[in-house]
Structure 1
Amino acid sequence: MRKVVGGSGASDGQAQVAIAEMLRRPVPGLRRLTVVSVRGGAGKTTMAALLATELSWYRADRVLAVDADAELGSLPLRLGVQAERSLFDLVERRPRSFEEAAPYLTRAGERLWVLSATRGGRIAEQFTLDAFETALGTVGGHFAAAVVDCGAGILTDLHQGILAGTHGLVLVTPGTVDGALSARGALEWFRNNGRRELLQRTVVATVTHAPQASADLERAEQMLSQWQLPVVHVPYDRHLAVGGAFDAGKLAGDTGTAVGRIAYEVFARSIGAPGVGG
């Protein structure tokens, strides 16, 4: 894995083998991987879509991408689908088998499914923690992993409820000093407000949104590295910057490497295995 973490001495092929071995590991039950950001525009939804796609590529069982953004999230759009039914329909029907549940999900790949918070891109109802937990509880037994895309922020009752049940957390922040300060504030809040256990499950993703990386990127990553958590830089990617649905085959090589590292680290933490970053 040294190649994946930016070192030398290992080939790309060896790195891919290490990622594959980790992401294919059996799980004792549904692993909830939550993607959050302190504020909007950090790249959270894109990261959730990339992470769900990466997991579904390697696993032989099903992966669920969950749109938990109460303010009209764009996760289905990023994954190239439009959901005509939402988790509210699922809660209302309470299907007892995957065959009954499938019509309330949207397929985004061979093993990737989407559970949307909206119907046809329109807000359905008020999004609550109870609705989220009921929907995920209804279908969770049919999936190995659920990648949950939260709305921006970490302090609402909804966010705190979702974070309480997560097995792995990706905290997404712009790759700037300002972004690092926001991420540091979130980590300090976890530590000081009864969420210290989240720190052991967290991977920080710093995202560059412009073709020229900020001169502050190195300083930002130094600030975050003091927490002794994996800090992975996701470089600017012209294909992702276009918006809308992305094609994983068109990602730049450095982007793919970063996503692989993030997937490796957060999945390792979700199953209690040591990651490269600690």
Structure 2
Amino acid sequence: MRLVPFGDPPLLRAWHTVSRMFASTRATRELADLAAEVQAPVHTGRRIAVTSVQGGAGKSTVAALLASVFAARRADAVLAADADPYEGSLTWRLGAPSQPSLERLAPELIAARGGDLRALESLLPRTGTGLWLLPSGAANPDLCTEVTRALSRLFAVAVTDCRSTLESRETAAAAADAHTVVLCTAATPDGVRATYRTLRRIIDTGYAAWLSRVVVVLSAGSRDGRAALSNDATRSLIEQTGVPVVTLPYDRHLAGGALITPSRIGEKTLVEATRAAAIILARARRL
């Protein structure tokens, strides 16, 4: 299997290594501050739904990245759930071995909700960072939401990669159940415009209060993904709706579309992903 490259090129990785030998960099200090926010305690399990307005927004990549950040930074249990009815890419990108489908596992998982995590050890796989994985595969489109809700007392954070776009019935139900909704957007003019129009439509139809639970994550899926965007103009446009925006830079490792290895993610990407996780958790903790 071809090894997916590091997010940062060799010279930049070498520079980061040398810099840290003599002093902490601005990025490392900022990362430490953001990590402290990601570690904030929660009184009950927080459910996070990751969706998009259009296809090709990097939804599964963002879900995997956020779940990995939470798992790496928190001492308590974190779950990544794949709501795809067939064979979703989330658990595969996180390195899960072949598992029974959610359809088969659901009865045992729901029955185990009154116990502790030991009851789940034979049912759910885990990554090297301790992230628990809930596989895809259920004819009932609401089953993933039912299972994650049932297991909420066992997991401090559950990140669900929703099966389709925000305006589908299944995703709308998952979003209604979530404490925070992450709206993934391709970092292109078309992606930004489509997301802004969706947010305006929500406001214009009388549901503006719902946006207090939304965070927009712009994802640059190619080297030229942000070339036509003005960061300030994009942020200003979307933040008119009261929704915060975080931009993930282009990352060679994530763009490879293969297994995500946290140690290979670029430094800037890691900082921005941790920033997004901190904002997402802060919104979730309000409820």
Question: TM-score by structure 2 length?
Answer: 0.82
Q: After alignment, is 235-244 or 109-118 more displaced? A: 109-118
Measured after TM superposition, the shift of residue 222 of structure 1 is: 4.0
> Which of 110, 124, 132 in structure 2 is aligned with 1:113?
132
Is 1:12 matched with 2:27?
A: yes
Structure 1 74/193 Cα, relative in aligned 2: closer, same or farther at 3 Å?
A: farther
How many residue pairs match? The answer is 257
1:59-112 Cα deviation digits (max 9, x unpaired): 111000010123532101111113412322232233333333332212123431
The letter of the residue matching 1:261 is R
> Which of 82, 85, 91 in structure 1 is aligned with 2:106?
91
Q: C-alpha distance in 2, partners of 1:116/1:223?
A: 36
User: Percent sequence identity over matched residues?
Assistant: 32
Structure 1 193/69 Cα, relative in aligned 2: closer, same or farther at 3 Å?
A: farther
Q: C-alpha distance in 2, partners of 1:197/1:45?
A: 26
What residue in structure 2 maps to residue 181 of structure 1? 193
Asked if the contact 2:186/2:192 (under 8 Å) is kept, the reply is yes
Q: C-alpha distance in 1, partners of 2:247/2:149?
A: 33
Structure 1 71/225 Cα, relative in aligned 2: closer, same or farther at 3 Å?
A: farther
Q: How does 1:211-250 map to 2 (within 5 A)?
A: 211-218=223-230, 219-250=233-264
Structure 1 214/247 Cα, relative in aligned 2: closer, same or farther at 3 Å?
A: same
Q: C-alpha distance in 2, partners of 1:110/1:254?
A: 20
What residue in structure 2 maps to residue 205 of structure 1? 217
Q: C-alpha distance in 1, partners of 2:164/2:70?
A: 23
Measured after TM superposition, the shift of residue 225 of structure 1 is: 3.2
Secondary structure of 2:32's aligned partner: helix
Is 1:166 matched with 2:178?
A: yes
What residue in structure 1 maps to residue 50 of structure 2? 35
What residue in structure 2 maps to residue 6 of structure 1? none
1:221-247 Cα deviation digits (max 9, x unpaired): 443232242211111111111111111
Q: After alignment, is 184-193 or 74-83 more displaced? A: 184-193
The letter of the residue matching 1:236 is Y
Q: C-alpha distance in 1, partners of 2:181/2:265?
A: 23
Show structure 1 runs of 4+ deviating over 6 A: none
**Could you list the runs of 5+ residues in structure 2 that have no partner in the other structure?**
1-24
Q: C-alpha distance in 1, partners of 2:245/2:273?
A: 12
Q: C-alpha distance in 2, partners of 1:150/1:243?
A: 18
Q: After alignment, is 244-253 or 224-233 more displaced? A: 224-233
What residue in structure 2 maps to residue 262 of structure 1? 276
The letter of the residue matching 2:274 is G
Is 1:127 matched with 2:146?
A: no
Structure 1 71/224 Cα, relative in aligned 2: closer, same or farther at 3 Å?
A: farther
Is 1:44 matched with 2:56?
A: no
Asked if the contact 1:87/1:135 (under 8 Å) is kept, the reply is no
> Which of 102, 123, 133 in structure 2 is aligned with 1:104?
123
Q: Give the superposed CA RMSD.
A: 2.1
Measured after TM superposition, the shift of residue 195 of structure 1 is: 4.0
What residue in structure 2 maps to residue 122 of structure 1? none
Is 1:55 matched with 2:70?
A: yes
Q: C-alpha distance in 2, partners of 1:92/1:216?
A: 49
Secondary structure of 1:106's aligned partner: coil
What residue in structure 1 maps to residue 37 of structure 2? 22
Greater relative CO, 1 or 2 (CA 8 Å, sep 6+)? 2
Secondary structure of 2:202's aligned partner: helix
Secondary structure of 2:152's aligned partner: helix
What residue in structure 2 maps to residue 145 of structure 1? 157
1:141-168 Cα deviation digits (max 9, x unpaired): 2110000111231122211111111111
Higher alpha-carbon Rg: 2
Question: TM-score by structure 1 length?
Answer: 0.85
